[in-house]
Amino acid sequence: MSAVIDSHHDDHHHGPAKGISRWLYTTNHKDIGSMYLWFSLIMLFIGGAMAMVIRAELFEPGSQIVSPEFYNQMVTNHGLIMVFGVIMPAFVGFANWMIPMQIGAPDMALPRLNNLSFWILPVAFGILLSTFFMEGGAPNFGWTFYAPLSTEYAPPTVTFFIFSVHIMGASSIMGSINVITTILNMRAPGMTLMKMPLFVWSWFITAYLLIAVMPVLAGAVTMMLMDIHAGTSFFKAGGGGDPVLFQHIFWFFGHPEVYIMILPAFGIVSHIIETFSRKPIFGYSSMVYAIASIALLSFVVWAHHMFTVGMPIAGELFFMYSTMLIAIPTGVKVFNWLSTMFKGSLTFETPMLFAIAFVALFTIGGLSGIMLAIAPADFQYHDTYFVVAHFHYVLVPGALFSLLAGAYYWIPKWTGKMYDETLGKVHFWMSFLSVNLTFFPMHFVGLAGMPRRIPDYAMQFADWNMMVSVGAFLFGISQLLFLFIVLKCIYNGKEATNEVWEGAKNKGFEWTVDSPAPYHTFSSPPSLESLKTSS
Amino acid sequence: MFRAIKYSLSLLAALTANFSFGAWSDLNMSPGVTQLSQEIFGLHMTVFYVCLAIGIAVLLAMAFILFKYRKKEGVKPADFDDSTALEITWTVLFALILVVLAVPATSVMIKAYDNEEGDINILITGHQWKWQYEYIEDEVGFFSNLSTSLDKRNNLAPKDKNYLLEVDEPLVIPTNTRIRFLITANDVIHSWWVPDFAIKQDAIPGFVNTGWTYVNEPGVFRGQCTELCGAYHGFMPIVVKAVSPDEYSAFINEKKEAKIQQALLTEKLWTVNELMEIGEATYQKNCVACHQVGGQGIPPVFPALVGSEIVMRNKARQIEILMEGVQGAAMASYSEQLTEVEIAAVITYTRQAWGNADSGDGKIVIPKEILDYKTNKL
Amino acid sequence: MSDSSYYVPESSKLPIFMAFGLLLFVLGASFTMNNWGEEGSNAHWLLIASFAVIWGVMFFWFGSVINENDSGLYSGQLNQSFVWGMAWFIFSEVMFFFAFFLALGYVRLFAVPWLGGEGEKAITNILWPGFEAAWPLLVTPDNEQFPGAHHSMAIPEISKLHTWLPFWNTLCLITSSGTIALAEAGLRKGNRTAFKLWMVATLTLGYIFVFLQGLEYYEAYSHMGLTLGAGIYGTTFFLLTGFHGFHVCLGAIILTIMTIRGFGGAFSHHDHFGLAAGSWYWHFVDVVWIFLVLVVYIF
Ligand code: HEA
Ligand code: HEA
Ligand code: CUA
Ligand SMILES: [Cu+2]
């Protein structure tokens, strides 16, 4: 931005504006990144509070604190908020902060669009949450909103839900266009695609996934809207449609969506592991190819969520095989991380602890994914807590841990202050223990036959459920500690050095600039050579 | 810490105790009672052990690396950053493991999809929130409702072993017979799951899915609806009773007999009290889920019947609602699910109970009127 | 790459107003739909207000982009950002249509045959005795609730082709893709007269298309019994052609604005990204139409 901005409005360009208007009108990637991150943290507490309601209701058999109707609203909104309101915006926040810094760009390519992408998110979620106070209550048909439960049998607030999904989609699409454009067009001289940091690569591919599937989701909710309000029959057998058509369209979006929630995590974790191993990442190019293959495969596996809808057998087999294939590129990544640590010089600061836990626990979640992929066995697993266990393992100690790891890793760069390492470690160990206590026993109740999305259950599931609930409460409290650590860091942290981590030498442009990173990072594009010689 | 120990111990127990299924029945899948379910169970165990082995290998390797290569004074980290040979090795290794898994999976899949007709064909229809069973060849059928009392659900009475897994009328099937289930739904998607048969098939409104079973030994098998189908999704269990073929014939004959009796009943002269008694029972079984015990409903979704215009003064419309349901609302048609007597009785009950008779016209409805409604429609 | 400098606009009020406009839109649209037909509902005013806000913001937004460009703030690199941005936006639109094509393919290949007792789930037909699979689907499984159309929109025999509106529509759109290319070529050569002429031709063809499409809908509703409620055939017909038509309208609006600007002297032979973007959009609409004619009308 530099030169031009400087020459045109030289007077007030070196720092942010003051007050609320700074945040409302900003076009700065760091401001917008921070807003995304705060937004997602707030949403984590809202979605997490809903999870606490779920766990309180399931603490014991019998009706506990909420009615079955409200329970369904809790489950639905918990899922929606965690997926669309926590994980995705948080990764976009990281993208905003880190991509320009890592590729040496002055800002995102389309800054005003960037601001718009963020500010429509609170609109979307404000509307979604306001349905709790409307006649008929909030959406109650699961985050997968299968028709006709979500069309002919839905509460009237489904209309608000549909439009709010449209807006979330628009936000993601605009955000991805911005990411792609930035990466294609704004890299520092000499940074070829195969020299880009892995986080940038992971987001590059994620952005393509988003652009490809969010419009399909928009199509799906549009069809719902038409079925509800215009008398069409996409999902009505009586008119020649099929409720299962909805599932095909939804999962065509939905499966790539789950990788959207994990690929950037792979990127973050790769950086952390190489930094704290004090070694270069192992197999850089196979890491890139692995991400790309996962993304490509993700378009042809969607019906593994639908093994029980009565597909023709050819379909069952095809989707079983294609799903299993994903284990190969993912395994490559896991082994590459291990090899990066192999013969390294490892230290275990909080980001590294979370990253290691990510690798270990994501592997567990991935392996249960492989079990689910075995179609005949999935007849027994499907829609039980075994599935719930699987996806929480990949999402909570997976995606969420990677976010925590990334936050600890980069927060000194963002704020210029160090977080409290001791508290960070306490946070890690509390989270690590309680996350397993919460989600591991879910495998058992799932195999023993407990269906998901039920507010009350048979006696034989009682013991494990109580343990799960206890674990969940502990995990919830642990995240309050995280909030405290962040606030303490911002208001009361020690000054951080520019390089922050001993192992960060040579590990990217972000470590060559001041801490906190200046409001406008690069006044002239840095060169890759400068990175090499700075070590 | 104590919990962590207890937890890891039970985990250990889970992993080592596979030779005695009984002991870990609440940790693992049940092998079930049909050949298919046992094959699926075997497949599950195979996949599980393979994944367990991979998991342990990865975690052990990781633990080793973390310990061995932690930062030590004077030890410099290596700086290699790839090894094509290694990478090819493990890629091939993963592919081989997957092939090993895919082979048995495919063969079990083919068995599960055997789509021959059954000796007995049963049409299963999911409704919000109950199952309907119709024996296609014998033209008899009935509904199967959750029978656990509200008191138990609200923690006012002690819960017992089959809490939430008991129904008023189980599905009865004969042993040693090939049975084919035709599964569909009437409103939203449900899913019919009996773990012991390894059948889980979604019930899609307007479409028919199939599943089959062959049970060798008599027994009672329980399952649940496994697709979110609305507020009471957690409360539509499945109970299947497998009996000897003789007992089965007796059961079917009894059903046929009852059907004839029912037709006769509508001819009888009814007293208000008789109707009220049947009506209250019917109401408790079928209507309380939405309209609540006291008839107050859960407005705005489920209207109150107390003080409802229709219930107090519009007999014709009320009959119509019960017979046809309300388009687009959860209020379904009861003309198939309930007998003429029950429908008449439940209408009478709602028109009399909760003071409705005092403020409304208090008209009662007799089974003959329902029968007339049906015949006139035809 | 970034040889010169990259312009980063100072803070801007436009996006937050746009977000506000979208808020109004969602509330307006949802309340309007939910209260449809109810007495005394004023929700549609909210909707109208939202359009005013959204269009207003767009006007100022594009206006400021144009001004910034005119005052020479934009580098070649920044223009490249717009190019990528527009390209991937169009890609996202393609995927939106993909969902509807997917739906059409699925019902034709699977759902309708199954309902009619063909294919692997033929058993489904026990629920719909007497229903037969056909396409175009004129008799639906539940023909009482979803009364099918009397006639389909399918292509007639060759001799009657000239009475078939989609034929003229196709002609219009394909030609207009050519005329807009000519307009661009004219501009690039600095021949402004040719540019303006071909733009007007393009617009005329575009508006004829919209008019004919409207005529066709009128025919469908008033004479053929083909409505949104006519089962899956009407559903897919109207939604596919409808969304396409909606995009044609958008494209036509964009091109109208470009034409007006062109007459006002905007665009130079080397700097006319706005026009180029509009023309890509137009080509995209054209390509979608070709697919649409194939699967909706012909096969
Ligand atoms: C971040 C999100 C995320 C990720 C990464 C994954 C990853 C995977 N998922 Fe998961 N999944 C979800 C989120 C995710 N999933 C969600 C949210 C649902 C439920 C949605 C709902 O219904 O609400 C779901 C449901 C789901 C189902 C449907 C279950 C059902 O409803 O019946 C299936 C079935 O195949 C499945 C499979 C897989 C597979 C095979 C992977 C693979 O990508 C995993 C690959 C990883 C590994 C295998 C581990 C590492 C590899 C090695 C160490 C190499 C060696 C291994 C072998 C050779 C086997 N997932
Ligand atoms: C990224 C996604 C994500 C994340 C992070 C989580 C986090 C959690 N989830 Fe979530 N979950 C989903 C995605 C996610 N979930 C999805 C997609 C579904 C499926 C929905 C559907 O079926 O439609 C689901 C469903 C789901 C169920 C199944 C419900 C059912 O099927 O009936 C359960 C049950 O235990 C559950 C529990 C939890 C818990 C305990 C956490 C915890 O990790 C949450 C921890 C966070 C906090 C607790 C917040 C911080 C603290 C406070 C707010 C302070 C208050 C604290 C106390 C009072 C202790 N989730
Ligand atoms: Cu029926 Cu769930
Ligand atoms: Cu998936």
For C68-91, how does the pLDDT look when each residue is reduced to its tens digit (9 = 90+)?
877 777 777 888 888 899 999 999
Tell me, what's the pLDDT at B83? 86
How does DSSP assign A86-149, residue by residue?
IIHHHHHHHHHHHHHHHHT-SS-SSHHHHHHHHHHHHHHHHHHHHGGGSTT-S--STTTT-TTT
Q: Are C85 and A177 in contact (CB under 8 A)?
A: yes
Name the pLDDT band for A19 (thresholds 50, 70, 90): confident
Distance from the Cα of B157 to chain A's closest Cα (Å) equals: 10
- What is the distance in angstroms between the Cα of A488 and the nearest Cα belonging to chain B? 28
> Could you tell me the sign of the dihedral formed by the alpha carbons of C57, C59, C65, C67, in that order?
negative
Nearest atom in ligand 3 to B227's CA: 2
* pLDDT of the residue at A277: 93
Question: Torsion angle of alpha carbons B251, B255, B261, B262, nearest 10°?
Answer: 150
Span B331-354, pLDDT tens digits: 888 888 888 888 989 999 998 888
Q: Which two tokens stand for residue A81?
A: 């908020």
pLDDT digits (tens, 9 = 90+) for B258-298: 888 777 777 777 888 888 888 999 998 889 888 988 888 88
Angstrom distance (rounded) from CA C58 to CA B236: 53
- Per-residue confidence band for A8, with pLDDT thresholds at 50, 70 and 90: very low
Is there a contact between B207 and C126 if contact means CB atoms under 8 Å apart? no
Rounded to two decimals, what is the model's pTM? 0.89
**Which CATH homologous superfamily contains domain C77-298?**
Cytochrome c oxidase, subunit III, four-helix bundle (1.20.120.80)
| Mean pLDDT, rounded, of chain A | 92
Q: What is the structure's pLDDT at A9?
A: 41
| Predicted local distance difference test score (pLDDT) of residue B26 | 67
Express each pLDDT in A504-523 by its tens digit: 877 888 888 888 888 888 87
CA dihedral B100, B105, B110, B114 (to 10 degrees): 150
CA atoms of B125 and B186, how far apart (whole Å): 6
The per-residue pLDDT for B241 is 95
3-state secondary structure of B201: strand
Q: Is residue A110 within 8 Å of A177, Cβ to Cβ?
A: yes
pLDDT of residue B12: 52
What are B206-247's pLDDT values in tens digits?
Answer: 999 999 999 999 999 999 999 999 999 999 999 999 999 999
Highest mean pLDDT among A139-148, B108-117, B258-267: A139-148
Whether the per-residue pLDDT at A103 is higher than 50: the answer is: yes
- CATH architecture for segment(s) C7-74: Orthogonal Bundle (1.10)
Chain B: nearest CA to C128, how far in angstroms?
8
For position B21, what pLDDT does the model report? 37
Distance A360 CA to ligand 1 centre (A): 15
Confidence of residue A23 (pLDDT cuts 50, 70, 90): confident
Question: What is the reported pLDDT for B5?
Answer: 53
For residue C120, the distance in angstroms to the closest alpha carbon of chain B comes to: 10
Q: How many pairs of residues across A and C have Cβ atoms under 8 Å apart?
A: 257
Task: Encode chain C in three state secondary structure.
Answer: CCCCCCCCCCCCCHHHHHHHHHHHHHHHHHHHHHCCCCCCCCHHHHHHHHHHHHHHHHHHHHHHHHHHHHCCCCCHHHHHHHHHHHHHHHHHHHHHHHHHHHHHHHHHHHHHHHHCCCCCCHHHHHHCCCCCCCCCCCCCCCCCCCCCCCCCCCCCCHHHHHHCHHHHHHHHHHHHHHHHHHHHHHHHHCCHHHHHHHHHHHHHHHHHHHHHHHHHHHHHHHHHCCCCCCHHHHHHHHHHHHHHHHHHHHHHHHHHHHHHHHHCCCCCCCCCHHHHHHHHHHHHHHHHHHHHHHHHHHC
Predicted pLDDT at A369 = 96
Residue whose CA is closest, atom 1 of ligand 3? B190
Q: Kind of pairing, strands B190-194 and B199-203?
A: antiparallel
Question: Residue B131: is its pLDDT beyond 50?
Answer: yes
Q: Tell me the pLDDT tens digit for each residue of A184-204.
A: 999 988 889 999 999 999 999
Both B370 and B277 in one domain: the answer is yes
Helices A350-373 and A401-415: crossing angle, nearest 10°? 150
- Report how far residue B165's alpha carbon sits from residue A457's, in angstroms, rounded to the nearest whole number: 9
Q: Which pLDDT does position A140 carry in this prediction?
A: 94
- Alpha carbon distance A327, A331 (integer Å): 6
Atom of ligand 3 nearest to the CA of B190: 1
* CATH classification at residue B311: 1.10.760.10
For residue C205, the model assigns a pLDDT of 94
* Mean pLDDT within A57-86: 94
Residue A535's pLDDT is 39
- Is A410 a residue whose pLDDT tops 70? yes
How high is the pLDDT of residue B7? 57
Where do the domains of chain C lie?
7-74, 77-298
More reliable by pLDDT, B176 or A15: B176
Upstream peptide bond of A122 is cis (omega within 30 degrees of 0): no
Contacts of residue B174, defined as CB under 8 A and 6 or more positions apart, other chains included, come to: B120, B242, B243, B244, B245, B247, B248
Take residue C79 and report the two structure tokens written for it: 């223009």
Residue C72, chain A, CB below 8 Å: the answer is: no
Furthest CA-CA distance within chain A: 73
| Range A441-445 average pLDDT | 94
Is A148–B189 a contact, with Cβ atoms under 8 angstroms apart?
yes
> How wide is the angle at C-alpha A360 spanned by C-alphas A358 and A363, nearest 5°?
95
CA distance A132 to B272: 44
Question: Which residues have CB under 8 Å from B55's CB, separation 6+?
Answer: A363, A364, A367
Q: Give C244-289 pLDDT, tens digit per residue.
A: 999 999 999 989 988 988 888 878 877 788 888 889 999 999 999 9
Structurally, how many domains does chain B consist of? 3
Residues B207 and B302 in one domain: no
Residues A56, A468: Cα–Cα separation, whole Å? 10
* Residue B124 domain-assigned (yes or no): yes
3-state helix, strand, coil in chain B (%, to 5): 50, 20, 35
Is A383's C-beta closer than 6 angstroms to any atom of ligand 2?
Answer: no
Residue spans of the domains in chain A: they are 31-259
Chain B, window 201-240: residues with a beta carbon less than 8 angstroms from a chain C beta carbon: 206-210
Q: Do residue A149 and residue B110 have CB atoms under 8 angstroms apart?
A: no
Integer angstrom CA distances of residue B93 from A420, B48, B218: 43, 18, 46
Ligand sitting nearest the alpha carbon of A143 = 2
Q: Looking at the partner chain, which of B28, B154, B159 has a beta carbon nearest the beta carbon of A447?
A: B28
What are A353-374's pLDDT values in tens digits?
999 999 999 999 999 999 999 9
Mean pLDDT along residues B306-327 = 86
Which pLDDT does position B200 carry in this prediction? 94
Q: Which of B86, B112, B138 is the last residue of a domain?
A: B112
pLDDT of residue B258: 83
Angle between helices A111-130 and A158-185 (to 10 degrees): 160
B257 plus B300 within the same structural domain: no
With contact defined as beta carbons under 8 Å apart, do A234 and C228 qualify? no
Mean pLDDT of the region C129-156: 86
Cα nearest neighbour of B70 on chain A = A346
Minimum Cα–Cα distance from C120: chain B residue: B115
**Selecting from 3.40.50.300, 1.20.210.10, 1.20.1250.20, 3.40.50.11140, what CATH number does the domain A31-259 have?**
1.20.210.10
Would you say residue A271 has pLDDT above 90? Answer: yes
Give catalytic residues of A, as residue numbers.
78, 107, 143, 171-172, 255, 257, 259, 270, 304-305, 330, 333, 452
Residue range A125-140: mean pLDDT, rounded: 93
When pLDDT is cut at 50, 70 and 90, the band that residue B24 belongs to is low
* Domain residue limits at B35: 26-112
**pLDDT (tens digit per residue) in C43-63:** 888 899 999 999 999 888 888
| Ligand 2 binding pocket includes A305 (Cβ within 6 Å) | no
- Whether residue B185 lies within 8 A of chain C, CB to CB, comes out as no
User: Ligand 4 (ion): which residues have CB within 5 A?
Assistant: A 255
- Which of ligand 1's atoms lies nearest the C-alpha of A398? 1
Q: Are B154 and B67 members of one domain?
A: no
Question: How many angstroms is it from A258 CA to the middle of ligand 4?
Answer: 7
Q: State ipTM.
A: 0.89
pLDDT category at A395 given cuts 50, 70, 90 is very high
Phi, psi of A230 (to 5 degrees): -120, 5
Q: State which of B238, B262, B286 marks the end of a domain.
A: B262
pLDDT > 60? residue B2: no
Is residue A483 in contact with ligand 2, taking CB distance under 6 Å? no
Instruction: Choose one of B73, B94, B112: the last residue of a domain.
Output: B112
Task: Give the three-class secondary structure for B258.
Answer: helix
- How many contacts, defined by CB atoms under 8 Å, are there between B and C? 20
B14 confidence band (pLDDT: 50, 70, 90): low
| Span B79-102, pLDDT tens digits | 888 888 999 999 999 999 999 999
Domain annotation covers residue B9? no
CB contact under 8 A, B206 and C115: yes
pLDDT for res B10: 59
Indicate the average pLDDT of chain B.
86
Overall average pLDDT of the A73-88 stretch: 96
CA distance B191 to A184: 47
Higher local confidence (pLDDT), B217 or C161: B217
Binning pLDDT at 50, 70 and 90, where does residue C2 land? very low
Measured from the Cβ of residue A143, the count of other Cβ atoms closer than 10 Å reads 16
Per-residue pLDDT tens digits for B47-78: 999 999 999 999 999 999 999 999 888 888 88
Given this model, what pLDDT does residue B377 score?
A: 57
Is the sign of the CA dihedral A96, A101, A107, A108 positive or negative?
negative
| Nearest residue on chain C to B181, alpha-carbon basis | C123
